[in-house]
Amino acid sequence: MPIPANDPTRKTWLPVADNSDFPIQNIPFGVFLTRDDIITIGTRIGDYAIDLGALHQLGYFKDIPLTDDIFLQDTLNDFISDGQKTWRAVRNRISEIFEISNDELKNNKDHKDVVLFAMNEIEMQLPVQIGDYTDFYSSKEHATNVGSMFRDPENALLPNWLHLPVGYHGRSSTIIPSGTPIRRPVGQTIPKEAEKPVFGPSKLVDFELEMAFITTDANVLGEPIPVHEAEDYIFGLVLFNDWSARDIQKWEYVPLGPFLAKSFASTISPWIVTLDALEPFRVDSPSQEPEPLPYLQLNGKHSFDISLEVDLITNDESATTVTKSNFKYMYWTMAQQLAHHTINGCKINSGDMMGSGTISGPTPDSYGSMLELSWQGKNPVKLNDGSERRFVEDNDTVVLRGYCKNSSVRIGFGEAATKLLPALEFKN
Amino acid sequence: MPIPANDPTRKTWLPVADNSDFPIQNIPFGVFLTRDDIITIGTRIGDYAIDLGALHQLGYFKDIPLTDDIFLQDTLNDFISDGQKTWRAVRNRISEIFEISNDELKNNKDHKDVVLFAMNEIEMQLPVQIGDYTDFYSSKEHATNVGSMFRDPENALLPNWLHLPVGYHGRSSTIIPSGTPIRRPVGQTIPKEAEKPVFGPSKLVDFELEMAFITTDANVLGEPIPVHEAEDYIFGLVLFNDWSARDIQKWEYVPLGPFLAKSFASTISPWIVTLDALEPFRVDSPSQEPEPLPYLQLNGKHSFDISLEVDLITNDESATTVTKSNFKYMYWTMAQQLAHHTINGCKINSGDMMGSGTISGPTPDSYGSMLELSWQGKNPVKLNDGSERRFVEDNDTVVLRGYCKNSSVRIGFGEAATKLLPALEFKN
């Protein structure tokens, strides 16, 4: 069934630059603080943020069953909880309101005054209260690179990797929106061949280029989500930088997995781009050999062609694109991840988030972390200002970007940008 | 500074059995559903649940700064967020109201009718919305047992274990209150010497005897909690059964840690016993060698003498106490766990929960899991009905209990009881 909001020929009466991430075919969802210090749920077209709370109060959604305060909230959780049929109806209706030939809002200056905000007047917030956050490890190239570096290039993938989407539980409380600076984390690391750990700032802070999807309430405790239904429970996607302290991780992670090496911060882009908006960019899923167990089998186009790139901006504002990758490189699809996650009956709630794992492509210029790009620091990455990087340095800003593009439309994610500040000073 | 509610000579006008877990010196906090289907925050004395929402509406807390609806909520998060000074004032005031010589409520039948409920009239709920849940691995005996079984008895502890409280992020959405039955989880396991995994119900479902503490808002992103302040941010403790599927875990957990082997369910006791109530039961913390890094150093009594035991009840209602352990056996204290958790700046919120890890004592009858009690199934545990168990079987109920006791008072936790139902049937 076609989704009207995806019609590539549709134009809007709002100005939208040619290369904008946010044409009328996107219509992402987010939460923002207005110039009057009011928090509201909104969407974005071009460089305008649109207050959905105000639109709803003015009656623009009267034909859709919605509670009065559904958009007057500081998270999208309740709206996401309303389910796919409601998200789709709202997105289609927004598309209709802003369609170029529709005068109902276009010609109503009073309404426009309370509905439209220039992007530079507002402050984006975390779009959801993330109940549980899971991170997968689903790029074969990334897992192979890491396995080659730390174990054995001949047996880089562990035995379970090709049979299930390896994943682990992460920390929700430190997921932050783009623009929030972070501090270099402090902790225990073990110097080479030392017997005892030392204390201090991590020396190997890294980004991880990921995407993450946000779910709706999907099941009750004890019941799995079948793989062929899984996508119905995915609201949308964001860019995700899973900040990592490689030296802290190395010392702490055996046998229970990464902990403080990850939980100091993870950055998401603030606009959730719906799975509906990404429909035109479905591509074949990778062929999987050996064949997965039946509960993970799903034919068809369940991967998405999303171009990804990372800029590293130094303190003097010189930017270098250090990698270009693509979400379609993932070996395990989101549907498989969600089916696997729930095969044990694990309950999935509205606002849960699942990261893809670092998305590395097949070539060295498409790797998704400094660890891989500099190959453990052996091949420093050259920056445009003449300096070089093995890992991320103090006062560097890391910017993730992502977009889909075909001959008629470009759907983008904006950015997930984070500045790494120096560590707090400790008296120890 | 003495806490009046802890006065061991204090008696209450409510009937309390001699061996009750809930004398007037306990005053735990929980959330319950009343006979009128109203959810409220309450406490318990003897076999009475006390509606704090009703008490507050009747003016009994008028001298304490509290918002009107602080107890008329379905979780304790906001109350916990009010901080230690408020919890202490409320607990002391409850103790005063129910003190034997205090007539204000005792002689007011109308008030008693809306405030007091027999325990069998109410239904206990999950006491907090758990934002993030972390599980530690802080019993030296347990880590040694597991390391001996799966690695090398001569080097059972991994190199990091004595230097930091090893921990990992867990799944919050499947933490359930005592009384909620669960299903045997289904998933991938690898048969011995097989090359490919198989699909089906876990054959090695186990309990883990743990305790967990609940925190208040403690810090801002990027700032650690010093170890000597950490206890101020701990509201209280519950019993915690960290259900585990050993065969699923074995196949999935390398390299990122346990995932679906844990996330099918974890059970807590519904009454949070405050750290204040446990004050009389502080004991010396274990001596730690090698000396931890300075950020983990804390002298004094930061362990707690809490007797723990686990009953396994078969489907014919025959009960066997399969282990007796004690919370004081933990090598790493709660203060050290919280200081370590935040050394990287990880933000701690009200309602976060941190599990101790399986609490095994020094002798084989004090081990905290069937894995250890049956030593990987080699020494089946004999039950009182003549059957034996290597792991938990379908329709078994596992009951955790815990209490502190000295010559004048007994403070208990009630129980965390869970029945394991058979796996869902799958067509695969």
Q: What DSSP line would sit under A119-158, residue for residue?
A: GGG-EE--SS--S-EEEE---HHHHHHHHHHHT-GGG-S-
pLDDT digits (tens, 9 = 90+) for A25-78: 999 999 999 988 999 999 999 999 999 999 999 999 999 999 999 999 999 999
Cα A246 versus chain centre, distance: 21
Q: Is B266 annotated as a binding residue?
A: yes
User: Which residues of chain B neighbour A255 with C-beta distances below 8 Å?
Assistant: 158, 166, 253, 257
- Please tell me the predicted confidence (pLDDT) of residue B425: 83
Within the 82-141 window of chain B, which residues sit less than 8 Å (CB to CB) from chain A?
A: 131-132, 134, 137
- What mean pLDDT is reported for chain B? 97
Burial class (CB in 10 A: 0-12, 13-18, 19+), A250: middle
Nearest CB to A160 within list B251, B264, B341: B251
Cβ under 8 Å to B: A residues 335-354: 340-341, 343-349, 352
Residues of chain A contacting B182 with CB distance shorter than 8 Å: 221-222, 345
Would you call B15 exposed, middle or buried from its count of C-beta atoms within 10 A (0-12, 13-18, 19+)? exposed
Q: Which residues of chain B make contact with A132, given a CB cutoff of 8 A? A: 171-173
Query: Tokens 């039950």 appear where?
Result: B383
What separation in angstroms does the CA of A168 have from each of A110, A212, A249, A345, B82?
A: 50, 14, 14, 16, 32
Provide the total of helices (H) and of strands (E) in chain A, helices listed first.
9, 26
Contact A208, A187 (CB under 8 A): no
Which residue of chain A comes nearest to B295, CA vs CA? A428
Beta pairing class for A175-177 and A266-268: parallel
Residue A108, C-beta contacts closer than 8 angstroms, at least 6 positions apart? none
| Residues of B with catalytic function | 142
Q: Is A56 assigned a catalytic role? A: no
Give the least confident one: A146-160, B53-67, B361-375. Answer: A146-160
Q: Which amino acid is at B229?
A: E
Distance CA(A22)–CA(A14), nearest Å, equals: 11
Q: What is the CATH number of domain A133-421?
A: 3.90.850.10
Percent of chain A with pLDDT over 70: 99
- Binning pLDDT at 50, 70 and 90, where does residue B44 land? very high
Paired tokens of A139:
């790029």
C-alpha span between A401 and A410 (Å, rounded): 13
Mean pLDDT of the B95-99 span = 98
Q: And the tokens for A276?
A: 């509906």
Contact list, B253 vs chain A (CB under 8 Å): 255, 257
Order of strands, sheet of B30-33, starting from the edge strand that comes earlier in the sequence:
B116-118, B48-51, B39-45, B30-33, B123-124
Mark yes or no for CB contact A160/B199 under 8 Å. Answer: no
C-alpha torsion sign, points A61, A63, A69, A71: negative
At residue B130, φ and ψ (nearest 5 deg) are: -85, 110
Q: Are A197 and B253 inside 8 Å of each other by CB?
A: no
Q: What is the pLDDT of residue B427?
A: 58
CA distance A64 to A76: 17
Q: Which of B274, B270, B213 is CA-nearest to residue B33?
A: B270
Both structure tokens of B325: 């352990």
List C-alpha distances in Å: B342 to A173, A174, A177, A210, B346: 12, 11, 20, 25, 5
> Does any CB of chain B come closer than 8 Å to the CB of residue A156?
no
φ, ψ dihedrals at A313, nearest 5° = -110, 120
pTM above 0.90, yes or no: yes
Query: Which of A180, A196, A222 is opposite residue B183, by nearest beta carbon?
Result: A222
Mean pLDDT, to the nearest integer, of B80-89?
A: 98
Q: Inter-chain contact B346–A260, Cβ cutoff 8 Å? A: yes
CA A305 to CA A368: how far, in whole Å? 16
A264 contacts on B by Cβ (under 8 Å): 222, 344-346
Give the per-residue pLDDT at B326: 98
- Residue A255: is the preceding peptide bond cis (ω within 30°)? yes
Q: How distant, in Å, are the alpha carbons of A427, B175, B412, B417 from that of B397?
A: 50, 17, 20, 7
State the DSSP string of B58-83: TTTTTTS---TTTTSSSSSHHHHHT-
Q: What is the token pair recorded at A339?
A: 């089916």
What is the distance in angstroms between the Cα of A361 and the nearest Cα belonging to chain B? 21
* CA nearest neighbour of B75 among B29, B111, B44: B29
Q: Are A190 and B164 in contact (CB under 8 A)?
A: no
C-beta separation of A153 from A146 below 8 A: no
Residue A163: its chain B contacts at CB < 8 A?
188, 196-197
A52 vs B128: CA distance, rounded Å: 31
Using DSSP's 3-state secondary structure scheme, residue B279 falls into helix
Interface test mutation site (partner B, options A338, A343, A344, A348, max chain B beta carbons within 10 A): A344
Among candidates A163, A188, A222 on the partner chain, residue whose Cβ is nearest the Cβ of B188: A163
Taking only the tens place, the pLDDT of each residue in B150-205 is 888 999 999 999 999 999 999 999 999 999 999 999 999 999 999 999 999 999 99
Phi, psi of B88 (to 5 degrees): -65, -45
SS3 A240: strand
Does the CB of B257 have a partner CB in chain A at under 8 Å?
A: yes
Region B244-256 average pLDDT: 96
What ipTM score was computed for the predicted complex, to two decimals?
Answer: 0.97
Q: What is the mean pLDDT of residues B109-129?
A: 97
Chain A interface includes B220 (CB < 8 A): no
* Neighbour tally for B395: CB within 10 Å: 15
Q: CA-CA distances (angstroms) from residue A419 to A210, A314, B298? A: 17, 9, 34
| Annotated binding residue A328 | no
Block residue for tokens 């074949």: A284
User: How many Cβ atoms sit within 10 Å of the Cβ of residue A8?
Assistant: 11
B254 touches chain A (CB under 8 A): yes
Would you state the pLDDT for residue A212? 98
DSSP state, residue B18: T
Q: For B237, which DSSP code?
A: E
Interface size between A and B, measured as CB pairs under 8 A: 207
Q: What is the DSSP string of B159-200?
A: TTTTTS--EEEE-STTEEETT--EE--EEEE--TT-SS-EEE
Q: Which two tokens stand for residue B42?
A: 């309450």
Structure-token pair, residue B86: 């408020």
**Start-end of CATH 3.90.850.10 domains in chain A:** 133-421
Q: How far apart are CA A207 and CA A312, in angstroms?
A: 10
Measure the CA–CA gap between A403 and A137, rounded to whole angstroms. Answer: 22
State the first-to-last Cα distance of chain A, in angstroms, to the nearest integer.
63
Nearest Cα to B218, choosing from B318, B349, B108? B349
Close Cβ partners of B28 (under 8 Å, ≥ 6 residues apart): B22, B43, B44, B236, B271, B272, B273, B274, B277, B413
Annotated binding-site residue? A262: yes
Closest CB from A158, A182, A221 relative to B174: A221
Distances (CA, A) of A117 to A59, A97, B97: 19, 16, 55
What are the residues facing A399 on neighbouring strands? A311, A417
Residue carrying structure tokens 């730690």: B288
Contact A399, A313 (CB under 8 A): yes
The residue with tokens 């008329």 is B72
Which segments of chain B belong to CATH 2.30.30.230?
4-124
Taking the C-alpha atoms of residue A387 and residue A406, their distance in angstroms, rounded to an integer, is 36
A37 labelled binding-site residue: no
Q: Residue A186: beta bridge partners?
A: A201
> What confidence score (pLDDT) does residue A113 get?
96
User: Mind listing the pLDDT tens digit of every residue in chain A (428 residues)?
Assistant: 789 999 999 999 999 999 999 999 999 999 999 988 999 999 999 999 999 999 999 999 999 999 999 999 999 999 999 999 999 999 999 999 999 999 999 999 999 999 999 999 999 999 999 999 999 999 999 999 999 998 889 999 999 999 999 999 999 999 999 999 999 999 999 999 999 999 999 999 999 999 999 999 999 999 999 999 999 999 999 999 999 999 999 999 999 999 999 999 999 999 999 999 999 999 999 999 999 999 999 999 999 999 999 999 999 999 999 999 999 999 999 999 999 999 999 999 999 999 999 999 999 999 999 999 999 999 999 999 999 999 999 999 999 999 999 999 999 999 999 999 999 986 55
CATH topology of domain A4-124: SH3 type barrels. (2.30.30)
Q: Which residues contact B151 (CB under 8 A, 6 or more apart)?
A: none
Calculate mean pLDDT across residues B351-365: 98
How many beta carbons lie within 10 A of that of residue B161, not counting itself?
A: 20
DSSP state of A37: S
> Computed from CA positions of residues A169, A172, A174, A176, in that sequence, does the dihedral angle turn out positive or negative?
positive
Which pLDDT does position A2 carry in this prediction?
86
- Calpha distance B29→B274 (Å, rounded): 8
- Mean pLDDT of all residues in B84-98: 98
